[in-house]
Structure 1
Amino acid sequence: MNEPGRRRHWHVRTALFTMTLLVMLAGRGAALGQQEDPVIEAELARIANETAILRQLPALDRIDDVLMSRAELQAIIPELIAQESDPAQVAAEARSLAAIGLIPEGIDLVDLTVRLMGEQAAGFYDPLTDEMLVVSDGEETLGIEQYFYAHEIVHALQDAYLDPEDLMEELTSFNSDASLAQLALYEGDAVSASNDYLANHPALVLAILQEVGADFPELDQAPATVGISLLFPYVSGVAFVDRLRAEGGWDAVDAAYADMPESTEQILHPLKYLDRDAPATLALPKPADAIGEGWRTVDEDTLGELQIAVLLAGLAPGAGINGITGEIDLPEAARNAAAGWDGDRFALWEDENGEREILIWRSVWDTPQDARAFSRALAQFGNERWGSVFNGESADDVALVTPDIAARILLDGQHVLYVQAPALPLADAALAVLQSAPAPDPAPGPD
């Protein structure tokens, strides 16, 4: 029975789709699960104890393993996602991401998530019931499942000793960039420890390599930001955790749960986390102040360095992932243009009839040069997206107008302001208020 007010833990599997959505589905295996197999149960107990030793945390007294076939798991995914998602919130996020240019208009993120999870889910740990669901299709021994089970055991250890409940609460906040960064710690920890398990069992390496090279047609057809956000907590997270281990062993990783990373920037550049280079906190004006009564905020969030790089790259579906290594592979120009990020905040507004939308976006950069590089890259992205050209008397204050859209980019020192509206007068009005609104100084870097 669920404890009041406590949500199940899910691993984020799709891009910026409610960061509470994790692949650790609910513990529904008991009703559908297969009969217990003493041989497999003994093997699972061995893996659990070995993983705890490798992770340098006390072994768990008890783990309730539930065996389930992949078909059974896939059958319950739609219901679980429906229970854990807020359709209105998901629709708002889809609209804002489409307005920015990260996903196509009209995409159904819930349906996409169902398809992706059905293609990729391999098991989960449910902290509410202390059940470990193990996907098993009746084989007498465990192969690659050992690696996945070791990974999920780390999540059980996290739940028991490091209390990532605070992390899960943060994942419901309206800062997707911070949530993705915190999830990278959570998943990177599990990948790092399960890689240690893999090092002890080299015969499993071939099976892992075959899994990396497997075909994932749903992922290949998904918007690039979806696949990249799916992989980021694992591939970038493990690099981050391995850097912490190099600095201070598992003790440094444990300590990070009490001092969470605050941005994907800190995951991509671990020194920024170690030096406590925190992102700037930015505030946005209210739509009524900018446009007038009747306008409301549909969605407000933070993109962060990772998603800005993905945006500027202008990738085709399924792109941005190395098909051989499974690592994130973005064009150098996009990475460089996003690398000076120090903070951002965007909002999507709509009128009282839901017929017109305005997107406002403020970002702050480490230096004026970084801000200029981003503003130029953003203009180039807009030129290609809209089939027109940003221009103006100054390269620091430009506009683009088509029959369907009007956009403004203003470079102001270390700040870049972007506004997108259905007509230039609306864009000008929103930009004027965004420009006059108090903007905090960029966050201080390390001393």
Structure 2
Amino acid sequence: MRRGLCVLGLVFLLALAGCSAFDLGGDDELAEPESNRPDPATDTLGWEDGYWWNDSVAVDGSDGLTQAEVAVVKARMMARLEHLRGYEFERDVSVRVISRETYREQRSGGGGDGQAPAWREQYWEALFIVGEDTGVEAAFDRLYGSTVIGYYSNDKIVLVSDDPNDLRVSRATLAHELEHALQDQHLGLGYSASTRDGRLAAQSVVEGDANYVEARYEDSCESGEWDCVTVAERSGGGRSAEYNVGLSVASFLPYGEGPMFVSALRERGGWDAVDAAFTDHPQSTAQVIHPAKYPDEAPAAVSIPDRASGGWSRLETEDGTDRVETVGEASIYTMFWYAKVVPREHLTSRNDSVSKYTYRHPFSTGWAGDRLVFYEDGDNQAYVWQSTWESRAEATEFRQAYTDVLAANDATARGDGVYVIDSGAFEDAFRVVQRGNTVLVVNAPSVDALDAVHPVSAGANASVGTERRPARSPTA
């Protein structure tokens, strides 16, 4: 299983090109084993550039690969993907390698002032993942600069290597990126979603299909069904461990749960069901985590009336509408995981050859919908987050786990559902109120500002954090 992130250029709008790159082309050719099947008269499914999907190759990957060997491995791999997926490659796909240093330089050199919009900073602060001491853009630069291992865009695959002159091309990574090329040529990689949760859900089809096919490819190699080239890994490496693992888990949902979603679709209706999801994308990460919810259980609409006063106003988009976000089940899970309210080992507790990752946990299961709105008063920022759940019991479970997140960040309870973090990256005041199956969180710089951002009238049906669950076992 791959240990880094694949980035689709069409999704993240990365356009990396330029110096310090090594093109895997060249005129050298490798002798093909005589035992292989003859080439067809015309290009056909399961054959590419001189190799059938079940042909042998004269390649030894124990000491890396030559350019000619990479070309042969790629040709047979493309034929095998055609055999697995049932689509013909209509165009060739180039492969090139750049150094991790070059990737980092080009990612951080894209222009702009390196500052995220205020609402985006507030989004990650609301999840207790990126605080006021670290900018979101800088945190994402460190994450992707340390973990991205390749990307595909416009018939080109770029692999990121700690040493671009040492061609230890990962079989799994190359299969994954070539599957993106096949998707691009037949199914399309585009999608439209107005919220981060919606984008993660749609991306889960694209990455889920690529990871699912990658896993099946690896299973066929490891079981001995196919004769495969194994390239010995390089010792050491230049990836830094100094990145925000909360951002990593929040971004990894399409790679972790996506393949299980695709597996469920394929079991339900074969490859036709998977292909249909490229057009009819899931609308929420809840549908990805719980495939039985797709496609019928759409997220509930959640509205938050604007009650701000005293100089506070909502942030707006360029067209004058309220700037809103949906957090969604996957990011809620990540919030609990990052705060260690969910044990760290839970994330990789799934026992399945397709994916060991699971974002399914009682504290976040039962999500029906949410809305996050952002406020400002001069240089001061605030937000209101309302979520709705499938039952009162699940709302209570979420609320109690959320107050555990507050406690994990050194919040003190002031009564009436009010909590205060006195110092640190998440220094702020919070009010947490539950009414039935709805939980409201109001955030402001001070307790006095809570009512100015969003006053909450107490009601007989309101719970304000006084109930506690039985003590849980210690978390990792």
TM-score (norm 2): 0.71
Is the 2:146–2:243 contact (alpha carbons within 8 Å) kept by the matching residues of 1? no
Query: Which of residues 407, 427, 430 in structure 2 aligns to 1:383?
Result: 407
Corresponding residue of 1:351: 377
Corresponding residue of 2:364: 338
User: Larger % of helix: which?
Assistant: 1
Is the 2:261–2:291 contact (alpha carbons within 8 Å) kept by the matching residues of 1? yes
Q: Cα gap change, 1:284/1:434 in structure 2, threshold over 3 Å: closer, same or farther?
A: farther
Runs of at least 5 residues in structure 2 that lack an aligned partner in the other structure: 1-5, 29-67, 317-322, 460-476
1:387 to partner: Cα distance? 3.4
Corresponding residue of 1:410: 433
Corresponding residue of 2:173: 148
Query: Is 2:54 the partner of 1:28?
Result: no
Q: Cα gap change, 1:278/1:301 in structure 2, threshold over 3 Å: closer, same or farther?
A: same
Q: Moved runs in structure 1, 4+ residues, more than 6 A?
A: 203-211, 213-217, 323-326, 433-436
Give the letter for the 2:339 counterpart.
L
Is the 2:142–2:243 contact (alpha carbons within 8 Å) kept by the matching residues of 1? no
1:410 to partner: Cα distance? 1.6
Report the structure number with the largest CA radius of gyration: 2
Q: Distance in 2 between matches of 1:180 and 1:290?
A: 31
Corresponding residue of 1:443: none
Deviations 1:268-324 (A, max 9, x none): 1111115x11111223344xx5124563428632111122122234536x9565499
Give the letter for the 2:84 counterpart.
L
Aligned pairs (5 A) from 1:205-216: none
Is the 2:175–2:214 contact (alpha carbons within 8 Å) kept by the matching residues of 1? yes
Corresponding residue of 2:272: 251
Superposed CA RMSD:
3.8
Q: Distance in 2 between matches of 1:327 and 1:431?
A: 41
Q: Distance in 2 between matches of 1:164 and 1:346?
A: 28
Is the 1:21–1:85 contact (alpha carbons within 8 Å) kept by the matching residues of 2? no
Give the letter for the 1:21 counterpart.
F
Give the letter for the 1:248 counterpart.
G
Corresponding residue of 1:118: 145
Q: Distance in 2 between matches of 1:194 and 1:235?
A: 13
What SS does the aligned partner of 2:157 have? strand
Identity %: 26
Is the 2:409–2:421 contact (alpha carbons within 8 Å) kept by the matching residues of 1? no
Q: Distance in 1 between matches of 2:145 and 2:377?
A: 37
What SS does the aligned partner of 2:440 have? strand
Corresponding residue of 2:197: 177
Give the letter for the 2:383 counterpart.
L
Corresponding residue of 1:4: none
What SS does the aligned partner of 2:383 have? strand
Is the 1:365–1:414 contact (alpha carbons within 8 Å) kept by the matching residues of 2? yes
What SS does the aligned partner of 1:410 have? strand
Q: Distance in 1 between matches of 2:134 and 2:215?
A: 36
Q: Distance in 1 between matches of 2:134 and 2:278?
A: 35
Corresponding residue of 1:106: 133
Corresponding residue of 2:7: 11
Query: Is 2:209 the partner of 1:189?
Result: yes
Corresponding residue of 1:432: 455
Query: Which of residues 312, 315, 327 in structure 2 aligns to 1:297?
Result: 315
Deviations 1:138-178 (A, max 9, x none): 45xx765332122111111211211222x2x43xx3x1111
TM-score (norm 1): 0.75
Give the letter for the 2:411 counterpart.
G
Runs of at least 5 residues in structure 1 that lack an aligned partner in the other structure: 1-9, 14-18, 393-397, 437-447
Q: Distance in 2 between matches of 1:416 and 1:85?
A: 37
Corresponding residue of 1:49: 79
Deviations 1:390-432 (A, max 9, x none): 633xxxxx22356664321221222111112233342124333
Give the letter for the 2:179 counterpart.
V
